[in-house]
């Protein structure tokens, strides 16, 4: 193993390796990171979703967004196969952007590895790319200024 520079750990502390961190472990990390941010860079974060449901209440599309630090992050946008090609993706992104404006956001950002052409068509511009993530594809980071 490579020297990890952990020689200065206090007595009684240890380093454990977890091959598959549980949801509880990941949630604990999230709580601690959020608490640190609250002390150093106060955050007013609001998460929201617009969901498309069929008559049985099953989700068949939607958008999830997070507004924080005056930016809207489009966490997820998805339209099920049965609903594609009807302009619902455009409508959902528009609803999310409007909600972002209502929450005080001036811009939006997202990342995608399959839908960059869609986001370009709705006004997003690239600001970064990770090549071969996933292998054979690229993950595109995109942004858009929101206007009222």
**Residue 101, helix vs strand vs coil:** helix
Among the listed residues 99, 104, 108, 106, the one whose alpha carbon sits nearest the alpha carbon of residue 48: 99
> Which two tokens mark 117?
């052409």
Find tokens 């599309």 and name the residue: 61
Superfamily of domain 23-145: Gcn5-related N-acetyltransferase (GNAT) (3.40.630.30)
**Residue 90, helix vs strand vs coil:** helix
What pLDDT score does 1 carry?
A: 47
> Which two tokens mark 110?
């997202």
* pLDDT tens track, the chain, 148 positions: 455 678 888 899 888 899 999 999 999 999 998 888 888 887 778 999 999 999 999 999 999 999 999 999 999 999 999 999 999 999 999 999 999 999 999 999 999 999 999 999 999 999 999 999 999 999 999 999 998 6
CA–CA distance, 131 with 64 (Å, rounded to integer): 25
What pLDDT score does 5 carry?
A: 74
């Amino acid at each position: 193993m490579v020297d990890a520079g952990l020689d200065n750990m206090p007595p009684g502390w240890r380093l454990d390796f977890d091959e598959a961190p549980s949801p509880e472990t990941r949630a604990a990390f999230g709580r601690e990171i959020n608490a640190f941010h609250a002390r150093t860079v106060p955050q007013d974060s609001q998460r929201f979703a617009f969901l498309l449901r069929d008559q049985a209440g099953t989700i068949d599309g939607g958008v999830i967004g997070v507004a924080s630090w005056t930016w809207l992050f489009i966490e997820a946008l998805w339209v099920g196969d049965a609903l594609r090609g009807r302009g619902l993706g455009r409508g959902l992104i528009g609803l999310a952007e409007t909600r972002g404006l209502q929450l005080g956001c001036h811009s939006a950002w997202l990342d995608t590895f399959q839908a960059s052409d869609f986001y370009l068509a709705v006004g997003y511009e690239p600001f970064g790319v990770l090549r071969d993530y996933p292998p054979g594809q690229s993950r595109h980071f995109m942004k858009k200024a929101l206007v009222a």
